[in-house]
Amino acid sequence: MNDAARKLAPLAKDQAEQHYREAPNNLEAEQALLGAILVNNDAFYRVSDFLKPVHLYEPLHRRIFEIAGEIIRMGKTANPVTVKTFLKADEKVGDLTVAQYLARLAAEAVSIINAEDYGRAIYDLALRRSLITIGEDMVNIAYDAPLDMPPQSQIEDAERRLFELAETGRYDGGFQSFNDAVALAIDMAGQAFERDGHLSGISTGIHSLDGKMGGLQRSDLIILAGRPGMGKTSLATNIAYNIAAAYEPEVQPDGSFKAKNGGVVGFYSLEMSSEQLATRIISEQTEVSSSKIRRGDISEADFEKLVACSQMMQKVPLYIDQTGGISIAQLAARARRLKRQRGLDVLVVDYIQLMTGSKKSGENRVQEITEITTGLKALGKELNVPIIALSQLSRAVESREDKRPQLSDLRESGSIEQDADVVLFVFREEYYVKNMEPRDEFDPKYEEWKMQMEKVKGTADVIIAKQRHGPTGTVKLAFQSEFTRFSDLADPSFTQYEH
C-alpha cells in the first residue's frame, strides 16, 4: 500500500508504532488541494505561481498536479475523466484504481477558498524537506572529503544554498496589478520625502553628487573608475563612511530593522589593510594628516582628537573585509552572511582587478572580469543593495593630450561597461598640471603654469559617463589631499579650494 492509500485507509488500532522518522509531509492537504483543482480549475491559478509539482510529496500527486496544470494551461477542463487518460490504467492506489482515486479526491474536495492555504502548507513542508536535504548533503560531503571540494568551498556552497532557499521560500513574486505597482511607487516617493535630502536612493553624503544621481539606487552596480592617484579609494571611503555614520534604523512591524537614513556598509578592501583604511577615515574626520598619523608626528591636541574620533566611530556600522585576491563566490558568501547577521544596505569593492574568477575562466582575463562583473550585478539584485565597485583604467589615458577618461578607457571594458548601471570617473586635473611644473621658476611659462595651477588646485571632477536612470554630466567637488577628503564646493562659481 503506497502513502496515498495509507492516508485514505483507516488505521487499525493495533497497528505497530512506527520507529523511523518520516520526511515532513501532509498528504491530506495534497489530496484536498488536488480535489479542489479537479472540481474547480480556478483553484490551480491560486497556487500555480509558487507551487510546483516537485513540492508535492507523493509521486502520484505530483503527476496529477502536473497533468492537471498542463490541461488547464491549454484552455481545457481538468477533471477526473480528463486526467485519468494520462495516467496508467492499471495503477493501483491501495484497493482503488487510479480512476476511482481521482473520483474520491473530487468527491471529498475542499472549498476553493481554502486552496491557497493548503498550497502554502504543502510549500512550507517542501522547504523543510529541502533544509533536511541540505543538512544531509553537508554531513555526507564532510565525511567523504572530496579532493575537489575543500571545507571552505563546502561552507560557501552551503551558505549559497541556504540563502537561495531563504530568498525563494516566499509566496511573493509573479505579476502584480498596476494598482499595486502605483502604490509601491507612491510609497517610495513618500520614503524619499521623509528621508534626509529627499532622495529615492541612499545619500552619498555629497549633495552635488546626490543631485545628479538621486542617491545610490538599490540593486545598481556602480563602477567608480580612475587612474592611480586620482582618489578612487578616497571617494569610495568617504561615501562609505558618510552612509554608515548617517545610519538611522527604523523598526518594522515584524521586529526587524530597516534603514530610515544612511545604512549598514560592507567594504571589501583588497588593496589596503583595514588599519590603513581606518587611518584614512580618521584623518578625514579629524583633519589630521594621515602621513603625520603614520609617522607619529602629532601634537597632544591632535592625539585627543584622534581618541575622541575613534570612540565615536566604534558605533558606526561599517564592516571591513581585508582578504586579498578574494573570488566572486567568496565575496558573495560573505556578503550574504553579513546581511543575515548584521544587515546590509551598501557594498563597496576596492577593486575589481584584484578579484579572481573561477577556475573555469582559465587564463582568459577578459572572461574572468566578465564573470566578476556579472556576478556583482547578480549579487546586487539578490541582496537588493547598491554595489560600488572600483576599477582601474587603461594607460591609454596617459597617451592622450586630453586626460579626461572615457568609457573606452575601462580595462577589459566590454563587460564592465555593459553590466554597470552607473559609471563614474574620478579626474583631478591638478594631478597632471602639478607634474607639468617648469623646473626653473624664471621660465616664461612658469607664470602661466602658476595661474593654471591656482585654477585647478583643490578641486576634482566626478564624471558621470553612464547612468541608466538619470542624466550624465560632471560634478565638481573640493578635494583635500592631505586628509583624502572629497566634499561639496562652497559655491558653484568657486574654482579654488584654499587649505
**Does 286 score more than 60 pLDDT?**
yes
Q: Rounded to whole angstroms, how far apart are CA atoms 252 and 225?
A: 37
Q: How far apart are CA 437 and CA 80, in angstroms?
A: 89
Q: pLDDT value at position 254?
A: 58
When mean pLDDT is compared over 151-165, 251-265, 331-345, the highest value belongs to 331-345
The predicted structure's pLDDT at residue 89: 75
Task: Output the pLDDT for position 494.
Answer: 44
Could you write out the DSSP letters of every residue in 16-83? Answer: PPP-SPPPS--HHHHHHHHHHHHH-THHHHHHTTT--GGG-SSHHHHHHHHHHHHHHHTT----HHHH
pLDDT grade for 12, boundaries at 50, 70 and 90: very low
Cβ-based neighbours of 211, under 8 Å, separated by 6 or more: 475
Residue 160 has pLDDT above 80, yes or no: no
d(CA 452, CA 411): 30
98: burial class by Cβ within 10 Å (0-12, 13-18, 19+)? buried
| Grid cell digits, residue 308 | 575622541
Give tens-digit pLDDT for 115-144: 888 888 888 898 888 888 888 888 888 887
SS3 283: helix
For residue 177, the model assigns a pLDDT of: 59
User: What pLDDT was estimated at residue 497?
Assistant: 42
pLDDT of the residue at 387: 92
* pLDDT tens digit sequence for 44-80: 888 877 888 888 988 889 889 989 988 888 888 888 8
Mean pLDDT of 266-284: 82
Going from the N-terminus, what domains does the chain have, and what CATH number goes with each?
Answer: 21-167 (1.10.860.10), 199-426+457-486 (3.40.50.300)
Backbone angles phi, psi at 32, to 5 degrees: -65, -45
Asked if residue 153 has pLDDT above 70, the reply is yes
- Backbone angles phi and psi of 202, in degrees to 5: -85, 125
For range 176-198, the mean pLDDT: 62
Residue 142 CA to its chain's centroid (Å): 29
CA 337 from centre of chain: 12
Give the separation between CA 79 and CA 37, rounded to whole angstroms. 8
Residue 360: per-residue pLDDT: 56
- What is the pLDDT at residue 168? 61
Give the separation between CA 70 and CA 83, rounded to whole angstroms: 10
pLDDT in tens, 199-221: 778 888 888 888 888 888 888 89
* pLDDT above 70: residue 181: no
pLDDT (0 to 100) of residue 190: 63
* Mean pLDDT lowest among 271-275, 323-327, 425-429, 446-450: 446-450
pLDDT value at 292 more than 60: yes
At residue 165, does pLDDT exceed 60?
yes
Distance CA 335, CA 323 (A): 13
- What average pLDDT does this structure show over 226-244? 86
What band does 312 get if pLDDT is binned at 50, 70 and 90? confident
CA distance 245 to 281: 11
Strand residue runs (E) in 242-375: 248-251, 257-261, 265-269, 318-321, 346-350
> Angle at CA 163, nearest 5°, toward 122 and 371?
130
pLDDT exceeds cutoff 80 at 17: no
Q: List all residues 6 or more positions away from 146 whose beta carbon is below 8 Å from its beta carbon.
A: none
The answer to whether the CB of 306 falls within 8 A of the CB of 235 is no
- For the segment 435-454, the average pLDDT, to the nearest whole number, is 69
Contacts of 190 (CB under 8 A, 6+ apart): none
370-398 pLDDT tens trace: 888 888 888 888 888 899 999 888 777 77
What does each C-alpha distance from 196 to 207, 213, 220, 240 come to in angstroms?
11, 15, 21, 17
Residue 388 · residue 213 · CB < 8 Å: no
The tens digit of pLDDT for each residue in 73-116 reads 888 888 888 888 888 877 777 778 888 888 888 887 766 667 88
Q: How confident is the model at residue 14 (pLDDT cuts 50, 70, 90)?
A: very low
pLDDT band at 191 (very low <50, low <70, confident <90, very high): low
CA distances from 85 to 64, 80, 89, 101 (A): 11, 9, 8, 13
Q: Name, in order, each residue with C-beta under 8 angstroms of 427's C-beta and a sequence gap of 6 or more.
A: 226, 230, 403, 404, 405, 460, 461, 462, 463
Give the C-alpha separation, 257 to 461, whole Å: 36
Cβ within 8 Å of residue 144, ≥6 positions away: none
Q: Work out the pLDDT band at 495, boundaries 50, 70, 90.
A: very low
Is the omega angle on the peptide bond into residue 351 within 30 degrees of 0, that is, cis? Answer: yes
* pLDDT for position 359: 60
Span 286-295, mean pLDDT? Answer: 74
Quick one: which of 239, 270, 274 has its CA closest to 388?
239
- Identify the band that residue 481 occupies on the pLDDT scale cut at 50, 70 and 90: confident
Q: In this model, does residue 243 exceed pLDDT 70?
A: yes
Residues 299-318 have a mean pLDDT of 80
d(CA 13, CA 100): 26
Q: Are the CB atoms for 109 and 35 separated by under 8 Å?
A: yes
> Binning pLDDT at 50, 70 and 90, where does residue 313 land?
confident
